[in-house]
Amino acid sequence: MSRPAASPGGVEQRRQAMARATQRHAFGWLVFANTVGLGLGLLLLWPELNGAMSPFTYGRWMPVHLNGQLYGWCSVPLLGLLFAACLDWRHPHAHHHARVALAAWSLAVAGGVVSWLAGESSGKLFMDWSGWARPLLPVAMLVLWTLLAGHVWWRLRRPPPANRVSTSLLIGLALALVALLPLPGIFFWAADPGVYPPVNPGSGGATGASLLGSTLGIITLFGALPYLLSIPRRAPTTPSSSGRPAPSGSELSFGGALIASWIIYAVIDHGHASHTARDQILGLGSLFVWIPLAGWHLAAFAWPNVARRWLVSAYVCWGLLVASGWVTFLPGWSEALKFTHGLVAHAHLAMAGLVTAVHHALLTCLDPAPANQGRASSAPWAFLTWHLGLAVHLLSLFLLSMLEEANPAGLFLSDGPSQLLMAVRALSGAAMLVASFSWLKQAWSR
């Protein structure tokens, strides 16, 4: 890639084009994965529908739903975040480059969808990329990395910006990109069926250390959001002697707690540790400190109005997630809820609750034009429908888990109460699908 000619006039339009493209891909995947999810709910309710779809039965659609959410809706907005942070918007084709990366990513996930439906699976619940589909996402990652690296390189070669903060951020981005380079290779390796994470021998599920590590990764990423999106602070900060703005109290607390949390993660057992082990319980319990800290940190920034509404939702979900995640890990509760719909409820609270809310805020902030910000995510009825649907959905799953814990036969043999709850769950899923479709429609209509 040759060095681009500067063309500052179209910077805003190019960023808008990128934001639009990201929203379309992201909401497209959300609608797709939600549609599949609703279909799965109906297949559970009326298993005979599987016959009409043979051989594409329930088990083949499950990874489509799960991975469509994970690698589609939960990932694509983060690509937008990388574009916002790394791309050189003076490049006349910057928005096209973003589109290329988005297309490569979506194609890779679409390839994955075809592979799962075709029965190409590794047998792992996560990182289920096998056979011919295994290199797809690493290749998309490489495409993305190359484009980002090219743009950061161009920015580094331009005359240095006026303030040193921008220079530091740019160097930080370059270093982060260097650190991310091995990721496609690691992803490819981790997708091998022989590579399996530590197992909690008491439950057959994840260990406390694994849960803590993955949650800290999310905290780190979400904590960096305002900086990568260049969201200004609400209260002006006093510059230090070097001319840089002094860190605020919330930032200092956030940074300090993050380091402490990673140290806790480093010292607890990383092997096949049981949920009865004290270090696992306490390690996971240390996440409680992030309930107030996360709120304090995010509240320190001047988010656009629409984004703020979603961040409040994210914060509520976050609090519930930390609490429910810890409680369901505890001995006694874990035995009762493992393998039931209770843990499905927890996963849906994370994906449909926390991640969805944060990503709406993120997509809102990607667009530099205040008039456009949050246009796709702003409809109050869709916001309410989504949350109401989610609440009913979670409640029905929780009640189902109580039923199956007491009497698994009710679930296995489609007894009346379980069928009723399944129907409620499907209805709430339909409501959420309607809301997500309205967001997609808005993203396309602009």
Partner 1 sequence: MSDNPPPTPPRHALVAAVLCVAATYIYFLIFAEFALIELAKPLAEGRLRWLMGTLAVGGVAGSFLAARSFRFERYARAVGTGFRACGAGAAFVLLAKSWLMMILAALCVGLGLGWLTVTLVSGLRGVLGGKRLGLWAGISTGSAYAVCNLPWVFEASPAAQTIFAALVAVGGAIAAIWLDLTAPPRSDTRDYEPAVTWFWVAALLALVWLDSAAFYIIQHTEPLRAATWAGAWTLGGNALMHLVAAVAAGLLIDRQGAPVVVVLALAVLGTACSWLGDGENHALGVEVLYTAGVSLYSTALITYPAHGGRPWLSARVYALAGWIGSGLGIGLAQDLHAVPLWFIALAGVLVIGALAARWSWLRRAVVKAAVCLIGLGGFGWGTNSPMYAAEGSDPAVALGRRVYVAEGCIHCHSQYVRPHVAADVERWGPVRPLTESLLERPPLFGNRRQGPDLTQVGNRRTPEWNRLHLMHPQRFSPGSRMPAYDHLFHNGDPRGDALVAYLASLGTSTLGERLQQAAQWRPAIATPSNADVALPHGRLQFARLCAPCHGPAGHGDGPAAAGLSQRPPDFRQPTWRHVPDGLSTEARTLVLARIIKFGVPGTAMAGHEYLDDATVVSLARAVDALYAARRPPP
**114: contact with partner 1 by CB under 8 A:** yes
Residue 73 Cβ, how far from partner 1 at the closest point, in Å? 17
Q: Nearer to partner 1 by C-beta: 55 or 172? A: 55
Site for partner 1, residues 387 to 406, rule: CB under 8 A: 404
Stretch that binds partner 1, among 137-145, 189-197, 234-242, 431-439 (CB under 8 A): 189-197
Rounded Cα distance, 312 and 58, in Å:
35
**420: contact with partner 1 by CB under 8 A:** no
**120: contact with partner 1 by CB under 8 A:** yes
Nearest residue to 429 via CA among 378, 379, 386, 395: 386
**Residues 194, 236, 249, 271: which binds partner 1 (CB under 8 A)?**
194
**63: contact with partner 1 by CB under 8 A:** yes
In this structure, the dihedral spanned by the alpha carbons of residues 435, 436, 440 and 441, taken in order and rounded to 10 degrees, is: -20
The answer to whether the CB of 338 falls within 8 A of the CB of 201 is no
Stretch that binds partner 1, among 8-16, 97-105, 174-182, 408-416 (CB under 8 A): 408-416
**Residues 35, 50, 253, 286: which binds partner 1 (CB under 8 A)?**
50
**Residues 3, 9, 12, 53: which binds partner 1 (CB under 8 A)?**
53
Stretch that binds partner 1, among 61-69, 157-165, 210-218, 305-313 (CB under 8 A): 61-69
Residue 335 Cβ, how far from partner 1 at the closest point, in Å? 5
Q: Nearer to partner 1 by C-beta: 160 or 408? A: 408
Residue 64 Cβ, how far from partner 1 at the closest point, in Å? 10
**Residues 11, 117, 139, 423: which binds partner 1 (CB under 8 A)?**
117
Rounded Cα distance, 232 and 219, in Å:
20
Tokens 């039923």 label which residue?
403
Site string for partner 1, 197-236 (x = CB under 8 A): --x-xxxxx-------------------------------
**412: contact with partner 1 by CB under 8 A:** yes
**69: contact with partner 1 by CB under 8 A:** no
**429: contact with partner 1 by CB under 8 A:** no
Phi/psi of residue 19, nearest 5 degrees: -60, -40
Stretch that binds partner 1, among 50-58, 92-100, 138-146, 306-314 (CB under 8 A): 50-58
**Residues 369, 391, 409, 420: which binds partner 1 (CB under 8 A)?**
409
**344: contact with partner 1 by CB under 8 A:** yes
The answer to whether the CB of 430 falls within 8 A of the CB of 37 is no
Binding site for partner 1 (CB under 8 A): 43-44, 47-48, 50-63, 110-111, 113-115, 117-125, 131-132, 193-196, 199, 201-205, 272, 335, 338-340, 343-344, 404, 407-409, 411-415
